[in-house]
Structure 1
Amino acid sequence: MLRSVLSVIAATVLFSLANGAFAQKGTVYEPSAGNPGPSSGKIAWYGGKFNGRKTASGERFNASAMTMAHKTLPFGTRVRVTNLKTHKSVILRVNDRGPSSPDLVGDVTLAAAKKLGMAHSGIVEAKLEVVGRTPKRTAHKS
């Protein structure tokens, strides 16, 4: 009986992770549906050692791209991120899961951090607003 229960739990977690969920310290964050309202919190930037590695969406990480990691927003979601200190903002596309710190609401690339004026400080308070979704690419038949 215990083996059956554990199998069901394991299958549920694996299914969730395969659908873009993010697990952190025993908590599974499911991608959100719909358009959540604006949120705010601390963001950080990441890059360097991650450059060229696969992101959770399967894309290669590119520190020069205008992308970000978020725990629950679906991949392809476009988010306006505003640095609450400088009031600079950028529109980023979610292509990764994270951040790994429970104190952060998002991670942005170095390129985004520079435009937000946070490359030197590393962590800032920011406002996140969903502004749309990147259309899915379709194969062209000739």
Structure 2
Amino acid sequence: MRFLLLLLSLILVSCARPPRQPSPPPQIIAPEESSKYLPGWMRPYTINGKTYYPLPKAEGYEEVCLASWYGPGFHGRQTSGGEIYNMYEYTAAHKLLPLGTYVLVTNLENGRELVVRINDRGPFVEDRCIDLSFASAKELGLHGKGLARVKIVALSEGELINSKVVYKDIPNFRFNEFYLQVGAFKNYANALKYKLELEQEFEQVSIEPYQHPEKGLFYRVQIFLSKDLYKAQEQALILKKDRFRTAFLVAK
């Protein structure tokens, strides 16, 4: 009887399915490992314990937030993009936009606009989205105040070619219509009176309505300077020095 039981046990064991081998774990590439294959300006990076993942494309990007500026303490230092920071150029830092992206920045508090190029990372303060160069902040009218609510619209971006960032589809910023804004009035009659006075000296003076998000409608008086940015800048410097000290250059 014992022999039959032993024989039956051997038969059952030989017919049993062999134990299942565990499947190999899936191959997981850590973010820092996969980022090695990206150009440096597209890799995730960590600041103050927070990791930021730069956008692969800037197309369609718009943002409304607070802008700040940085200047003398960083002038001459290397930016995240590898170039040397020049606070007198129209550049800016952004946490996520691809380096090399050109953006239109509008100061929503005074209506001033400027095109700047993103060439650095920052600002790493929660309520701020863009850090402008000294020249950019001054042109947009937020240098003295330090902060301003702005709107950012991406225009074009850089593309990595042979390990270098090449700018594509760059709008022609030099040739446009450039005006010197010399005044802003709540009352249209006052704006018109000032326009008629200026037309005795300048060939083309216009009134541009502007809807301020908080203060309502303004009528901005602008003097046409040139269709060439460089010539317009030269004329603007002369006029601002001699007469219109608080005026600024605008493009249409």
Q: Shorter-chain TM-score: what band?
A: 0.7 to 0.9
| Aligned: 1:98 with 2:98 | no
Give the conservation status (yes or no) of the 8 Å contact 1:44–1:106.
Answer: yes
Q: How does 1:53-92 map to 2 (within 5 A)?
A: 53-92=77-116
Q: Find the residue that maps to 1:113 and give its secondary structure.
A: helix
Question: What amino acid maps onto 2:47 in structure 1?
Answer: Q
Give the conservation status (yes or no) of the 8 Å contact 2:122–2:130.
Answer: yes
Q: CA deviation at 1:16?
A: 7.1
Residue 55 (structure 2) aligned to one of 32, 40, 47: 32
Give the conservation status (yes or no) of the 8 Å contact 2:41–2:81.
Answer: no
Give the conservation status (yes or no) of the 8 Å contact 1:40–1:125.
Answer: yes
Question: What amino acid maps onto 1:39 in structure 2?
Answer: E
Give the conservation status (yes or no) of the 8 Å contact 2:41–2:80.
Answer: no
Q: CA deviation at 1:29?
A: 1.4
Q: Distance in 2 between matches of 1:50 and 1:95?
A: 13
* Residue 40 (structure 2) aligns with: 18
Moved beyond 4 Å, runs of 4+: 8-17
Give the conservation status (yes or no) of the 8 Å contact 1:16–1:30.
Answer: no
Q: Distance in 2 between matches of 1:102 and 1:12?
A: 27
TM norm structure 2: 0.47
- Number of aligned positions between the proteins: 132
TM norm structure 1: 0.81
Q: Find the residue that maps to 2:73 and give its secondary structure.
A: helix
Q: Per the alignment, do residues 13 and 23 of structure 1 end up closer, same or farther by CA in structure 2, a change over 3 Å counting?
A: farther
Residue 107 (structure 1) aligned to one of 131, 148, 152: 131
Q: Distance in 2 between matches of 1:126 and 1:50?
A: 23
Give the conservation status (yes or no) of the 8 Å contact 2:70–2:133.
Answer: yes
Q: Which runs of 5+ in 1 are unaligned?
A: 138-142
Give the conservation status (yes or no) of the 8 Å contact 2:66–2:147.
Answer: yes
Higher relative contact order (CA 8 A, sep 6+): 1
Q: Which runs of 5+ in 2 are unaligned?
A: 1-27, 160-165, 168-252
| Deviation per residue, 1:28-58 (Å, 9 max, x gap) | 2122123143111001010111000000000
What do you get for the CA RMSD once the two structures are aligned? Answer: 2.4
Larger radius of gyration: 2
Q: Distance in 2 between matches of 1:132 and 1:87?
A: 22
